[in-house]
Amino acid sequence: MPTYAQRALDLFPAGSNGEYRIPADLLPVIERGSGAYVWDTDGRKHLDMTMAWGAALVGHGRPRVLEAAARQAQQGANFAAITRVLVELAERIRDVSPCIEKIRFVASGTEATMLCLRVARAATGRPKVMKYEGAYHGQHEVGVTSLVGDRLPDFPEPDDAGVGGDWVNRDVLVAPYNDIETTRRIVSEHGDTLAAVIVEPFHRCLSPAPGFLEGLREITARHGVVLVFDEVVTGFRFAPGGAQEYYGVTPDLVAYGKALGGGFPIGAYGGCADVMEAVSEHRLPGPNYAWSASTGGGNPVTAAAANATLDVLNEDGVYERLHAHGRRLRESMRGVLDDAGEAAQVLGDGPLAQVAFTDAPVTDHRSWKASDGARGRAVMLALLRDGVFLNPMGTKLYLSIAHEVAEIDAFADHFATALRRTAAAGAEEG
Ligand SMILES: Cc1ncc(COP(=O)(O)O)c(C=O)c1O
């Protein structure tokens, strides 16, 4: 009988359900998870440092979340309608999210950011959107434009042969993150036709430079451009009110996903009432209407899990611990790199970390691309080989509330081993 990994390789392109690029001999097929660990179908235990790409912020199998979901599932898994638990969830999000006056639920971060952009275009009647180089907003056209390519042109370039280039070339603008002058120039030049600027306020694993988000808020407001915060990563992770609370800047629209669902698939978007009015069916089929409907979005099992997730995150000291643990992780990685004499930057904030092998500061996509990606990948693969589950495509490390000091220190040991092994062996292929 072939192994699960062999069966997966047989059926799934690259043996993955998307974005892992794990060499065939290393492919783990996950059987179950608990807390900060996952077990594969060979019975091997891995320290999980990706936590469902950040969706499992409360840890795997958190009883309170599972019980809430199971209780709700017994009463019906989906009605494709507003439910009691969804109203409660919407109110709780409104109470912590500075910009939310109106909200809709979907089933993924991709849908949430896509709809923010469509709503902005419908509400303003303008065609263009601007994003930042290297920003990932999900698997729609804008999300995958100017994302990973090695060429760094000043124009939008889809990293996906399926994206219709004409629309993207005409209506998507790109700017370097943290560059307020270029942002101001583009927004001023295209003000009349620019519907929205979408930004990950904490871009990939990079913090905003002082004044960058404030400058962006000011210039978009001046030109009537809808400012969209993609808080799929930062939402409910940096603070109850996400990056809006953490950085003190309020956008017009916000997109959520990942952590909110406690591991269950979720997305939500919302913001000021007048912009959100674009999705009101009373407008149908008016010229300023944007279609927003999702069979799985806002389903009651996920909503119940999300309410329980917010209960868990609201317990005393949770955010303080997440930040303290993130600091410990980054400091220990710094220490390991210094001991090994490696030229590298440790990036991150909150419970997130990432390493870039370069001696130059990393502040945007171009400075990230200038780092030694092959070295980074070799280290990630060595970690994977050593029993640390992560995404070797260079994605950030995500801690959860289930990661204690013991897990962070264990990771530092694995990291030291991975640096040693890869330094001795040279860059691995894969
Ligand atoms: C910042 C950001 N936005 C949007 C998305 C897309 O979310 P999803 O994978 O749920 O569609 C991601 C996913 O990693 C993300 O990191």
Highest average pLDDT, of 72-76, 151-155, 424-428, comes from 72-76
pLDDT band with cut points at 50, 70 and 90 for residue 429 = very low
pLDDT value of residue 166: 80
**pLDDT recorded at residue 425:** 67
User: Residue 37's pLDDT is what?
Assistant: 98
Overall average pLDDT of the 174-187 stretch: 95
Residue 426's pLDDT is 57
CA dist 325 and 260 (Å) reads 20
Q: How far apart are CA 279 and CA 386, in angstroms?
A: 49
Structure tokens at 338: 């210094």
Q: Give the span between the Cα atoms of 422 and 427, in whole angstroms.
A: 6
The candidate with the shortest Cα–Cα distance to 266, out of 225, 232, 220, is 232
The domains found in the chain, sorted by start residue, are 4-61+316-425 (3.90.1150.10), 76-313 (3.40.640.10)
CB 66 within 8 A of CB 284: no
pLDDT of 174 above 60: yes
Mean pLDDT of 274-298: 92
Examine the residue annotation and report whether 258 is marked as an active-site residue of this protein.
Answer: yes
Per-residue pLDDT tens over the stretch 107-131: 999 999 999 999 999 999 999 999 9
Question: What is the average per-residue pLDDT within 238-249?
Answer: 98
Among 138-152, 262-276, 302-316, 382-396, which stretch is predicted with the lowest mean pLDDT? 138-152
Answer for the pair 96, 318: CB distance below 8 angstroms, yes or no: no
355 forms bridges with which residues in the sheet? 346
For residue 164, pLDDT over 80 is answered with no
Mutational pocket test of ligand 1: of 258, 269, 391, 393, the residue with most ligand atoms within 8 Å of the beta carbon: 258
For the Cβ of 257 lying below 6 angstroms from any atom of ligand 1, the answer is yes
| pLDDT score, position 154 | 66
Q: What percent of the chain has pLDDT over 90?
A: 86
Q: Is 367 helix (H, G, I), strand (E, B) or coil?
A: helix
Does residue 418 carry a pLDDT above 70?
yes
* pLDDT in the model for residue 398: 98
Catalytic residue among 20, 136, 269, 289: 136
pLDDT at 190: 95
Could you give the 3-state DSSP secondary structure of residue 210?
coil
- Residue 113 and residue 228 in contact, taking contact as beta carbons nearer than 8 Å: yes
pLDDT at 82 over 90: yes
What average pLDDT is seen over the chain?
94
Q: Which of 230, 252, 349, 364 is catalytic?
A: 230
421 has a pLDDT exceeding 90: yes
Please identify which of the residues 102, 128, 258, 396 carries the catalytic annotation. Answer: 258
CB-CB contact of 346 with 353 (8 Å): yes
pLDDT of residue 156: 75
% of the chain at pLDDT higher than 70: 97
pLDDT at 428 over 60: no
Q: What is the pLDDT of residues 22-35, one digit of tens each?
A: 998 999 999 999 99
Residue 230 annotated as catalytic = yes
Both tokens assigned to 359: 């001696």
Which helix H or strand E contains 366, and what residues bound it? helix 365-369
